Structure 1
Amino acid sequence: MKRLLLVVLIMLSPSLYAAKETFDVSAADPEMNNAIKKAQETIGSFWKHYNKPGPNEKDFMIKVKIEDAGGVEHFWCGNIQLKDGAVYGDLWNYPEVVKSVKYGETVKIDPTAISDWMYYRDGKIVGGFTIRVLLKYLDEGERKRYENMLGPEE
């Protein structure tokens, strides 16, 4: 069975985006697949806020699926930029399976490969659908700590 290595963005402040904690989740996991589907269905909400952020909205990020001969991995990208009709972002996770990219590299984001999105509003995460699924892998103390960081899904 094909496996996805999903990197959860678990941070205490915007300076800690480079998550080192990873979870191996089956590509057939229904909860994760539903989270990815919801993120894809609601990406318009992300772009609406990205293009015209509210006074307390910042740190817009997209999670993107990247595949190469090594396998499949999902990366959070920050510093999102729109150039000539394309979307670019900097990889904010360290690759563990995929060898064709490196931490900090600017990549062109294929819109069909977007697996999640998030931003901060009033200090809370909006979006982050896959993060919410991955909370179950944390011990109770860590899970509660990160649940407190989550705001509304949209």
Structure 2
Amino acid sequence: MTKGPVQLDVSVTYGLPRAGLPAATSFRRWAAAAAQGRIKRADLAIRLVDAKEGRALNRHYRGKDYATNVLSFPVELPEGVTLPLLGDLVICAPVVAKEALEQGKPLNAHYAHLTIHGVLHLLGLDHEDEREAEAMEQIERDILATLGLPDPY
């Protein structure tokens, strides 16, 4: 864990109409909450997409022919290159809205959870086995609680 506030430069772009979607400042706040205490400085990009773009990216990068809620693309820098680049998140707005409705979650809380989840992936956390999944879920719960948001699980 690192001490002090995180210096986070977050670029947020919208690949679909922004109406009904959280503001860029919200995504920046959620990303900073996930990074706090884990890194000192980082740059990352968050792109909100429609189902068509989300599906194309998931198919191309993961071989799965459907849109998913969030994709994380960690930066892989060449050896010896030290830049504060963390990576990119792609969040598929229609999938997030559908999930929030189906799961009875407030839409902004679901966006916050998925942003935090994605940033934690960029920081190297994963949920490949049950132990990792439980640890990551607890970290997500703790971060969301600091933001006054409910347990997503």
Give the TM-score normalised by structure 2.
0.28
Instruction: Report the structure, 1 or 2, having the larger strand content.
Output: 1
**Higher share of residues assigned helix:** 2
